[in-house]
């Protein structure tokens, strides 16, 4: 860290992006004050990766990031990439391991260990951390910025980094408060919506199949065209559908719903057979046990709680008739449901259930090389507040680390 006195930097928001920005700005010589509205910093970090903190991913392609202008993310992701992220945390004491789909976790399996080392680094560097400091207004003056905090306190700084997060998981402190702060300074907002969240369906039979899981494929269809697809464990719920593939598809579904388009979910329950192979297999099951009832003939192949619903969705009223009585047309309809079951998507679960925010501050008004505002010199942005979001699997935390790194370095070193 430089011993020369750098600019006074105020970081607003003590989440992943804000913590990284504060550490990096201080390492580059700035005098840093971190303002956090919660009683402690990093509360949301503790919930990431189901409490294990999915730090990053080994497959860091730009296609895993989204927004109105996703290419905006490239310079920051390139400047502080997944390898540098792993090295950064290794130096702080976090050993890592790589799991399925390239997900990187701390070897301790504890998100708390990640927060512990970040807080320790803040203390070691001498970053002034102020909690229960809800910022109500940011004013730009000739000498820098004046920050007004709820209760009347004021802070001054030459540079400000806004890292207040989005609106997902408001119970962890993400209320979208930073949007208004940025808008008052002249920035535009791309309307936020929940992402990495469960989907709501309108089917009346959902209560009878809630809790049923299966490995399959899922697709989002708009105007009868597939616009996104994912594979993995899918879970039916009382309100609709969940599971990792659904989380991956939720952003696309919500995007099109915002545009007032009719959105369909296609579920492929049996994805390891072609249609012809599946038809031959079902025909053989019928032929091997012609005396079984239609419903009982699927026991051992399909979750038996799901069978009655599936058959009725195929248009078969008498699900207890003998399989010998099943017509070729009825068999085809069963195959249709097993490999092309469609549901109308009515919405997503609310912000309280979402893992991340899609939308946010319009990145066209921000320099992607520095994270500095093009409208207000000396104002920087980092993390989820921006109109950039990532897939499930460590991508959103990587965006927080990368954008926080660039904002912190730039705020501390750019000459004015």
Task: List, for residues 43-91, the tens digit of each pLDDT value.
Answer: 999 999 889 999 999 999 999 999 999 999 999 999 999 999 999 999 9
d(CA 217, CA 235): 12
Average pLDDT score over residue span 11-17: 97
Residue 185: C-alpha distances to residues 27, 145, 319, 373, 382 (Å): 28, 11, 64, 10, 16
Residue 323 has pLDDT above 90, yes or no: yes
How many C-alpha atoms does 376 have within 13 Å on its Cβ side? 24
Q: Do residues 169 and 63 share a domain?
A: yes
Question: How does residue 415 score in pLDDT terms, banded at 50, 70 and 90?
Answer: confident
382-392: pLDDT as tens digits: 999 999 999 99
The fraction of the chain above a pLDDT of 90, given in percent, is 94
Q: Report whether 270 contacts 278 (CB < 8 A).
A: yes
Question: How does residue 142 score in pLDDT terms, banded at 50, 70 and 90?
Answer: confident
Return the sign of the alpha-carbon dihedral for residues 308, 309, 313, 314. Answer: negative
Strands 8-12, 159-162: parallel, antiparallel or unpaired by DSSP? parallel
Q: Do residues 124 and 236 share a domain?
A: no
Q: Do residues 165 and 112 share a domain?
A: yes
Split into its structural domains, the chain has a count of 2
CATH of residue 97? 3.50.50.60
| The residue to which tokens 């950039």 are assigned | 388
d(CA 73, CA 369): 9
Q: Do residues 380 and 277 share a domain?
A: no
d(CA 416, CA 407): 15
Q: Do residues 371 and 307 share a domain?
A: no
| The residue to which tokens 């899922």 are assigned | 218
Mark which of 304, 322, 348 sits at the end of a domain.
348
Residue 1 counted as domain residue: no
Residue 125 counted as domain residue: yes
Residue 41 counted as domain residue: yes
d(CA 366, CA 226): 33
Read off the tokens for 396.
């959103």
Q: What is the pLDDT of residue 416?
A: 64
| Of residues 234, 261, 271, 270, the one with CA closest to residue 249 | 234
Residue 43 counted as domain residue: yes
Q: Do residues 67 and 134 share a domain?
A: yes
Residue 182 counted as domain residue: yes
Q: Do residues 176 and 299 share a domain?
A: no
Read off the tokens for 302.
């399909």
Q: Report whether 17 contacts 169 (CB < 8 A).
A: no
Residue 3 counted as domain residue: no
Residue 2 counted as domain residue: no
Question: How does residue 4 score in pLDDT terms, banded at 50, 70 and 90?
Answer: very low
Q: Do residues 285 and 320 share a domain?
A: yes
Mark which of 296, 317, 348 sits at the end of a domain.
348
How many C-alpha atoms does 326 have within 13 Å on its Cβ side? 31
- End-to-end Cα, the chain, rounded Å: 21
92-134: pLDDT as tens digits: 999 999 999 999 999 999 999 999 999 999 999 999 999 999 9
Q: Which residue segment(s) compose the domain that 314 sits in?
A: 198-348
With a CB cutoff of 8 Å and minimum separation 6, the contacts of 384 are 15, 17, 165, 166, 168, 174, 356, 357, 360, 396, 399, 400
| Of residues 239, 257, 236, 237, the one with CA closest to residue 200 | 239
Q: What is the pLDDT of residue 3?
A: 43
Q: Do residues 182 and 54 share a domain?
A: yes
The fraction of the chain above a pLDDT of 70, given in percent, is 98
Q: Do residues 115 and 22 share a domain?
A: yes
Q: Which helix H or strand E contains 132, and what residues bound it?
A: none
Mark which of 301, 322, 348 sits at the end of a domain.
348
Q: Do residues 42 and 135 share a domain?
A: yes
Question: Model's pTM, two decimal places?
Answer: 0.92
With a CB cutoff of 8 Å and minimum separation 6, the contacts of 337 are 269, 310, 313, 314
Q: What is the pLDDT of residue 2?
A: 42
Secondary structure of 221-271 as H, E, C letters: EECCEEEEEEEEEEEECCCEEECHHHHHHHHHHHHHHHCCCCEEEEEECCC
- Which phi and psi angles does 409 have, rounded to 5°? -65, -45
331-384: pLDDT as tens digits: 999 999 999 999 999 999 999 999 999 999 999 999 999 999 999 999 999 999
Query: For all residues of the chain together, what is the average pLDDT?
Result: 95
Q: What is the pLDDT of residue 5?
A: 64
Strands 103-106, 8-12: parallel, antiparallel or unpaired by DSSP? unpaired
Q: Do residues 105 and 241 share a domain?
A: no
How would you classify residue 223: left for phi > 0, otherwise alpha for psi between -120 and 50, otherwise beta? left
Residue 77 counted as domain residue: yes
């Amino acid at each position: 860290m430089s011993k020369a006195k750098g600019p006074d930097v105020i970081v607003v928001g003590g989440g992943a992006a804000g913590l990284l920005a504060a550490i990096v700005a201080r390492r580059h010589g700035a005098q840093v004050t971190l303002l956090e509205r919660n009683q402690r910093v990093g509360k949301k970090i503790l919930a990431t990766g189901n409490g294990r903190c999915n730090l990053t991913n080994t497959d860091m392609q730009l296609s895993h990031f989204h927004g109105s202008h996703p290419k905006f993310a490239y310079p920051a992701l390139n400047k502080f990439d997944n390898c540098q992220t792993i090295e950064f945390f290794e130096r702080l004491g976090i050993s890592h391991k790589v799991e399925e789909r390239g997900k990187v976790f701390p070897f301790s399996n504890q998100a708390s260990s990640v927060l512990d080392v970040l807080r320790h680094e803040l203390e070691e560097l001498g970053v002034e951390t102020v909690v229960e400091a809800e910022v109500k207004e940011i004013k730009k003056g000739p000498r820098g910025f004046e920050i007004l905090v709820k209760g009347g306190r004021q802070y001054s700084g030459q540079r400000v980094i806004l890292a207040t997060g989005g609106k997902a998981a408001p119970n962890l402190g993400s209320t979208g408060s930073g949007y208004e702060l940025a808008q008052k300074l002249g920035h535009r907002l791309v309307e936020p919506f929940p992402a990495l969240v469960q989907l709501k369906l309108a089917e009346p039979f959902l209560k009878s199949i809630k809790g049923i899981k299966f490995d399959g494929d899922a697709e989002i269809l708009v105007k009868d065209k597939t616009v996104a697809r994912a594979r993995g464990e899918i879970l039916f719920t009382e309100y609709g559908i969940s599971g990792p593939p659904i989380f991956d598809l939720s952003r696309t579904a919500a995007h099109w719903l915002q545009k007032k388009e009719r959105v369909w979910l296609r579920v492929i329950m049996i994805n390891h057979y072609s249609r012809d192979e599946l038809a031959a297999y079902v025909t053989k099951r019928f032929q091997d046990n012609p005396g079984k009832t239609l419903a009982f003939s699927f026991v051992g192949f399909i979750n038996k709680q799901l069978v009655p619903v599936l058959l009725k969705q195929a248009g078969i009223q008498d699900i207890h008739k003998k399989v010998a009585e099943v017509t070729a047309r009825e068999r085809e309809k069963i195959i249709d449901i097993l490999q092309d079951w469609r549901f109308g998507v009515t919405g997503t679960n609310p912000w309280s259930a979402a893992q991340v925010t899609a939308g946010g501050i319009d990145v066209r008004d921000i320099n992607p090389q520095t994270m500095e505002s093009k409208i207000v010199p000396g104002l920087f942005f980092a993390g989820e507040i921006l109109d950039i979001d990532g897939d499930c699997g460590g991508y959103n935390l990587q965006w927080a680390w990368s954008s926080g790194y660039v904002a912190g370095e730039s705020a501390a070193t750019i000459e004015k």
